[in-house]
């Protein structure tokens, strides 16, 4: 379905993109504290939702 080069690129892209997002979020959080109250709960919820959807897909396929 995918070549090994495509999988390596996708994995590298996801890792680098996530690191950039985390760095940007940390910088913004330092500068604008009033906008980020409770945002950790939302990020945690989104991560849990993504993991649960992945697990549902994995265990319901034949």
| 10-62 tens-digit pLDDT | 999 999 999 999 999 888 877 787 777 787 888 899 999 999 999 999 999 86
Using the structure block, give the residue that is written with the tokens 């409770």: 38
Q: 59 to each of 2, 49, 52, 53, 55, how far by Cα in Å?
A: 22, 15, 11, 10, 6
Asked if 28 and 36 count as a contact pair (C-beta separation under 8 A), the reply is yes
Q: What is the pLDDT of residue 62?
A: 64
Task: Select the more confidently predicted residue: 1 or 54.
Answer: 54
Residue 17 domain boundaries: 4-60
Question: Which residues are CB-neighbours of 28 under 8 A, at least 6 positions away?
Answer: 35, 36
Provide the number of structural domains found in the chain.
Answer: 1
Q: How many CB atoms lie within 10 A of CB 36?
A: 14
């Amino acid at each position: 379905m995918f070549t090994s080069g495509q999988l390596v690129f996708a994995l590298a892209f996801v890792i680098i993109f996530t690191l950039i997002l985390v760095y940007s979020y940390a910088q913004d959080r330092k500068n604008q504290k009033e906008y980020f109250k409770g945002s950790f709960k939302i990020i945690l919820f989104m991560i849990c939702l993504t993991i649960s959807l992945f697990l549902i897909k994995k265990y319901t396929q034949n």
